[in-house]
Amino acid sequence: MINFHILTIFKNIFSEYFFEGIIGKAQDKGLINIYTYDLRDYAEDKHKTVDDYIFGGGSMLFKPEPLFNAVENIQKNKILNNNKKCIILLTPQGQQLNHNLAKEIASFKDIIMICGRYEGVDERVRENLVTHEVSIGDYVLTGGELPSMVLIDVVSRLIPGVVGSQDSVSEDSFARGLIEHPQYTRPSMFRNWKVPEVLLSGNHKEILKWRRQESLRKTFYRRPDLLDSVKLSEEDLLFINKLKLKEE
């Protein structure tokens, strides 16, 4: 079970998404818990100020006090095992989220996420409070709420029992280092387009071979960079050579 703790100034953003579908069911089954905290509740003045002007010029930035107060409060009241801390700042400057980073984050029992707004957060938060900085891509969003939802979704899918068939998770793109093979459903003939014969054959061994080869083919053409870090069999290498020679 993983507890996700989200620090935000826009708590309402989360309600709809997390009540639906697989993530909603995962909470019902007690596999994950999602807690949201309004950062303003941890501000130190009567106006509940969480942001201020940037020294040296610029617009607004989250002040350090509410963030430190909120994280320390969650750690004191909600987190029993404080040994392995995971305090994530969502930021475009962070490590780009991928399958391996999601797996690493999924090893924590409590995950605190800081959703920035405005120009982000005071640098002292980055230096002295957070343990991980995560980006969801090389572009800048208006806030960290969507990135935190992406992160929760990705990490939750890795928890056994969250997705009905764990096999489908382990066959997904990136789980084995490759892009997933093409998939089809009924009808076997749609307009003039037929599902590959082998998939209708019932021959499980041939189907597995086809899936592996088509997965290699997609990866070869779309994400050749992935092939450098995946374990390939003799048979895989032969197939890739054929792709290189355009024989397949």
Binding site for ligand SAM (CB under 6 A): 90-93, 115-117, 119-120, 135-137, 139-144, 147
Q: Give 120-146 as a DSSP string.
A: -B-HHHHHHT-SEEEESSSS--S-SHH
Q: Judge whether 66 counts as a catalytic residue.
A: no
Which of 51, 66, 92, 147 is the catalytic position?
Answer: 92
Under DSSP, is residue 60 helix (H, G, I), strand (E, B) or coil? strand
Question: Nearer to ligand SAM by C-beta: 67 or 74?
Answer: 67
- Tell me how far, at minimum, the Cβ of 7 lies from ligand SAM, in Å: 10
Question: Nearer to ligand SAM by C-beta: 66 or 120?
Answer: 120
Question: Nearer to ligand SAM by C-beta: 132 or 181?
Answer: 132
91 is written with which tokens? 């930021």
CA distance 114 to 136: 14
Question: Nearer to ligand SAM by C-beta: 65 or 180?
Answer: 65
Which of 119, 197, 206, 235 is the catalytic position?
Answer: 119
Q: Judge whether 182 counts as a catalytic residue.
A: no
Which of 145, 157, 214, 217 is the catalytic position?
Answer: 157
- Tell me how far, at minimum, the Cβ of 6 lies from ligand SAM, in Å: 11
HSE-up (13 A, CA, CB side) for residue 197: 0
C-alpha torsion angle, residues 223, 227, 228, 229 (rounded to 10): 110
Question: How many distinct helices (H) and strands (E) make up the chain?
Answer: 10, 9
- Tell me how far, at minimum, the Cβ of 164 lies from ligand SAM, in Å: 29
> Which residues are CB-contacts of 140 (< 8 A; sequence separation ≥ 6)?
92
Which of 172, 180, 236, 248 is the catalytic position?
Answer: 172
Q: Judge whether 224 counts as a catalytic residue.
A: no
CA distance 209 to 228: 21
105 is written with which tokens? 């984050």
Q: Judge whether 38 counts as a catalytic residue.
A: no
- The residue at minimum Cβ distance from ligand SAM is 116
Catalytic residues: 92, 119, 157, 172
